[in-house]
Amino acid sequence: MKKRNNRKATLIGLFTILAVVASCNKKYDGDGSSIESIKYKNNQKTYSKTKLDSVQAINLITTQKVKDLLELSTLYTSGNKDTEIDSVIYTQMQAHFLSKDSNNLKPLLHEMDSLKVRYVKVNNLTTSKSIREKDTLDFANFDVEYYDNRKTYIATVNRNAQYMLKASPVQFKKEFKFYFIHFYQKKADSITKEKAAK
């Protein structure tokens, strides 16, 4: 009788341990980015003033632009960085910035390379404004989940970006175009290494 109870307890313990281990192995469940998808991530879209009336709309647009840039960067870092398609991807990444300086992308690409990131997921994006002298500065704060080429969870990082909506008149209508000024500023960022159970 005791042997039977010990076996049951052992089996229950093993199943519990397996369930805990399985739940800790967080996997990427998105579609990922492909070469085919890059043709739509060139930051050419403009937004009318009426579309930018709510914070929710600005958050939605900002989330999409952050995702686009991060997906392009995963494609770029997974390549050789010396092919024609890599130069097209790099040009599209630079199109997301107001100034076309290569230093804009260095922190992002360095982090992607060093962690061997192949898939990303953006969560908890919030936008805020800061007034300095006569300028209003727009900021986005967000969490990015990193995954490797086997779609295995690497880490979650908290990142921020400064962006602007620049007036870009189209056919006598007041339209705006989205640009990043700074992306992945290091001063307020943090990395969370623990694995989240799901």
Mind listing the pLDDT tens digit for each residue in 152-162?
Answer: 999 999 999 99
Percentage of residues of the chain with pLDDT beyond 90: 38
Per-residue pLDDT, averaged over 179-193, amounts to 68
pLDDT of amino acid 130: 85
Confidence of residue 112 (pLDDT cuts 50, 70, 90): very high
pLDDT of amino acid 20: 47
Tell whether the model's pLDDT for residue 139 goes beyond 80. Answer: yes
Percentage of residues of the chain with pLDDT beyond 70: 64
pLDDT of amino acid 166: 82
Rounded Cα gap, residues 73 and 123, in angstroms: 17
Tell whether the model's pLDDT for residue 32 goes beyond 50. Answer: yes
pLDDT of amino acid 131: 83
**Burial of 68: CB neighbours in 10 Å, binned 0-12, 13-18, 19+:** buried
**Burial of 119: CB neighbours in 10 Å, binned 0-12, 13-18, 19+:** buried
Kindly report the average pLDDT of the chain as a whole number: 78
Domain borders along the chain are 2-192
Per-residue pLDDT, averaged over 2-9, amounts to 64
Amino acid at 6: N
pLDDT of amino acid 195: 44
Rounded Cα gap, residues 196 and 23, in angstroms: 9
Mind listing the pLDDT tens digit for each residue in 38-93?
Answer: 555 566 555 555 555 667 778 888 999 999 999 999 999 988 888 888 899 999 99
Rounded Cα gap, residues 141 and 192, in angstroms: 15
